[in-house]
Each structure stands twice: as C-alpha cells, then as structure tokens.
C-alpha cells in the first residue's frame, strides 16, 4: 500500500515537472529588416508583449540582419512565426511544408512601390512608367534589399516588362541599399538618382516630416499587388498545444492597439492564405529570382 502511494506521488511529480517545462517553452518570432533596426526592435517588442499576454506563453522577438537570415531562421525552426514580405514569405513556405500565411495588414492586400527621384534629375511624375524611358535611361538606381518584394521584386519586374531589358542594362549603375529607409536617404542625398521603396515607408516618413521634398519626389507608383504577411510554421500545435496556431491567428487579427498598429504602419490585420501570394510566386519565377 505504501509502495503504491509512493509510486503515485513520483508519477504525479514527474507529470507536474513535464507540464511546467512544456508551458515554459518560448514562442519565438522575427521580421524582415526592412527599416531602421531601432524602429523594428521597438515595434516588435511591443508585439511580443501583446502576444505573450494573449497566448499565455513566453514570446520573444529576435532581430535578424537580412531577409535571407529571416527565411533561414524560419526554416531551421529558430523562429516559429515571422513578419515576411511577399517574396520572403513565398520562399519560407516553400522551404517549410505545412507553413501558412495567416494574417496580413489591411493595406497589404493592395500594396504599392513608389519610384522616387532626386529633384536634380528634373524627372517629372507620371502615371505611366513608359513615359519615363528616356528620362530614366542611363541614370543611377537603387533597389532596397535583394529579397524585398516592394524594394526589388516588383520594381525589377516593371522595369523589365516596360523597357524590355534588365535593370543593369538600362541604368548606368544599380545598387541595393539594404532597406527602404536607406533607399529614401540615398536618393534624397543624391547618391543615387532614382530608387524604389515601399509606399508605406514613404508615407510614414512624409507624415512625420522626415523627408526633404525639395530634394526628392515620387515619380511613379506601381499597380497594386499583395505583400507583407504573418507566416507560421505548421508544427506549432504539436509543440505548443492543440489549437495554438488558431490562437495566434486570432490574436493577430484582434490586435487593435493604435500605437502598435501605427508603428507598422497598418490600420489593422485581416486573414491571409498562401493562395493570396501566387502572383508573387509567379512573378519571382518569371524574372528568375526564385529557386
């Protein structure tokens, strides 16, 4: 009788330890480094606190140095959730079967890239990119990151589609700034004549009074396309408990903190699916930047 009681107590103790260990596991996420690192850390620490409160688990944000590093961290299960751009999300989901796009910003359904130019170029804004063939040809041009949807994929697609040639053969010099904020500053300073960047970054910097509009202006806006989204690994329910993926999805869709949303900037989050990003996949394959 005493032996049976001891056995029960041992089993009960082991169960408690196991339960505590499981509940103490950390849910980790990252984001593509599309802006200044200080802004990103501030934004996503706020998201981590929000998710931790909603999910009742420890949630941690880890910054990465490149778009490729964000995809690698997701592939290697160093992170279970990521705020990706359209292209990086497609890349990540191809590498991790079962992963899903679960939420996108309201504005990400119809995203745009702005082509901006230093005013010394005297390039006049237009609604048709074809009007800019002569004014833009032979100028210097910078994309954002090589893995950026709005800073590289879509602008390169439209340059190729409109002018019938690669950017390297159309412009006198082509660079990659690394992020949208840097693209803006390089064109504003005249280091590059023209650049392509995420329209949200331009609009946010403009509203904050951080753009010298005497030095740089928008000269063309792309047609709309799907872009940023939250992508989650398909094995999170096994790791964090049944229904966890749905709880994460609901937490993101219910995020209504004005300050947090403004930091993205987004007006809110709406449901997303892998199928939403088929146009991005096809475009990437078409111009040969998706393995």
What pLDDT is stored for residue 65 in this prediction? Answer: 94
Residue with the larger pLDDT of the pair 20 and 148: 148
Q: How far apart are CA 210 and CA 212, in angstroms?
A: 7
> Is 75 in a helix, a strand, or coil?
helix
pLDDT band at 1 (very low <50, low <70, confident <90, very high): very low
User: Which residue, 184, 205, 221, sits at the end of a domain?
Assistant: 221
132 and 164 within one domain = yes
pLDDT for 258-267, tens place per residue? Answer: 999 998 889 9
Q: Considering the domain boundaries, does residue 35 fall inside one?
A: yes
Please determine, for residue 11, whether its predicted confidence score (pLDDT) is greater than 60: no
Q: Tell me if 11 is assigned to some domain.
A: no
Residue 174 lies in a domain: yes
Identify whether residues 215 and 238 lie together within a single domain: no
Same domain, yes or no, for 92 and 146?
Answer: no
Task: Give the residue-averaged pLDDT of 64-76.
Answer: 96
Supply the pLDDT for residue 122.
Answer: 97
120 and 142 share one domain: yes
Q: Is the pLDDT of residue 6 over 90?
A: no
Residue finishing a domain among 179, 206, 221 = 221
DSSP string, 91-134: HHHHHSTT-EEEEEEGGGGGB-EEEEEEGGG-PPP-S-GGGGHH
pLDDT score of 16 more than 70: no
189 CB contacts (<8 Å, ≥6 apart)? Answer: 215
Give the pLDDT confidence of 135-160 residue by residue, as tens digits. Answer: 999 999 999 999 899 999 999 999 99
pLDDT band at 24 (very low <50, low <70, confident <90, very high): low
Write down the pLDDT at residue 199. Answer: 95
pLDDT number for residue 78 = 97
- Same domain? 116 vs 217: yes
pLDDT score at 21: 34
Domain check: are 124 and 84 in the same one?
no
Q: At residue 109, does pLDDT exceed 90?
A: yes
CATH number, domain with residue 194: 3.40.190.10
Domain span at residue 205 reads 112-221
Least confident residue range of 21-30, 77-86, 148-157? 21-30
pLDDT score at 291: 63
The answer to the question of residue 157 being in a domain is: yes
**Cα–Cα distance for residue pair 137/134, rounded to 1 Å:** 5
Query: Residue 281 domain-assigned?
Result: yes
Structure confidence at residue 216 as a pLDDT band (50, 70, 90)? very high
Using CA atoms, how far apart are residues 53 and 105, in angstroms rounded to an integer?
21
Domain shared by 193 and 230, yes or no = no
For residue 12, is the peptide bond before it cis, meaning its omega torsion is within 30 degrees of 0?
Answer: no
pLDDT at 18 over 50: no
Whether residues 174 and 215 fall in one domain: yes
One domain for residues 215 and 278: no
The string of pLDDT tens digits covering residues 178-197 is 999 999 999 999 999 999 99
Same domain, 166 and 264: no
Q: Give the mean pLDDT of 96-102.
A: 97
Domain end residue (candidates: 164, 196, 221): 221
Mean pLDDT of all residues in 238-263:
96
Q: Is residue 118 part of a domain?
A: yes
Q: For residue 286, what pLDDT is reported?
A: 87
- Burial per residue of 149-176, b for 16 or more beta-carbon CB atoms within 10 angstroms, e otherwise: bbbbbbbbbbbbebbeeebeebbeebbb
Q: Is 82 strand, coil or helix?
A: strand
Is 7 within a domain?
Answer: no
How many domains in the chain?
2
Mean pLDDT for the stretch of residues 71-77: 97
User: Does residue 137 sit in the same domain as residue 217?
Assistant: yes
On whether both 99 and 127 belong to a single domain, the answer is no
Residue 5 lies in a domain: no
- Please check the confidence at residue 17 and state whether its pLDDT lies above 70: no
Helix axes 154-163, 278-286, angle to 10 degrees: 50
pLDDT of residue 19: 33
Q: What percent of the chain has pLDDT above 90?
A: 85
User: Residue 270's pLDDT is what?
Assistant: 98
Tokens representing residue 86 in the block = 């359209």
């Amino acid at each position: 009788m005493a032996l049976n009681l001891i056995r029960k107590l041992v089993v009960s103790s082991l169960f408690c330890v196991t339960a505590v260990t499981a509940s103490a596991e950390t849910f980790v996420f990252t984001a593509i480094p599309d802006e200044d690192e200080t802004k990103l850390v501030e934004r996503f620490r706020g998201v981590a606190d929000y998710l931790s409160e909603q999910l009742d688990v420890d949630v941690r944000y880890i910054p990465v140095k490149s778009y490729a590093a964000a995809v690698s961290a997701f592939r290697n299960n160093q992170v279970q959730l990521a705020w990706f751009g359209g292209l990086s999300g497609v890349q990540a989901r191809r590498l991790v079967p079962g992963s899903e796009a679960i939420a996108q910003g309201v504005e990400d359904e119809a995203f745009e890239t702005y082509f901006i130019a230093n005013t010394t170029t005297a390039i006049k804004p237009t609604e048709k990119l074809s009007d800019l063939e002569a004014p833009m040809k032979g100028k210097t041009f910078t994309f954002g990151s090589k893995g950026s949807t709005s800073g590289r994929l879509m602008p390169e697609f439209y340059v190729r589609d409109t002018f019938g040639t690669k950017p390297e053969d159309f412009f006198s010099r082509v660079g990659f700034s690394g992020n949208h904020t840097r693209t803006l500053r390089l064109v504003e300073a005249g280091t590059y004549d023209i650049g392509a960047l995420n329209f949200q970054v331009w609009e946010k910097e403009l509203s904050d009074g951080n753009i010298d509009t005497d030095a740089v202006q928008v000269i063309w806006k792309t047609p709309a396309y799907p872009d940023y989204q939250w992508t989650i690994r398909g094995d999170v329910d096994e790791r964090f408990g049944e229904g966890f993926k749905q709880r994460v999805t609901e937490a993101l869709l219910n995020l209504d903190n004005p300050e947090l949303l403004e930091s993205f900037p987004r007006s809110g989050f709406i449901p997303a699916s892998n199928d939403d990003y088929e146009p991005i996949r096809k475009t990437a394959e078409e111009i040969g930047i998706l393995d």
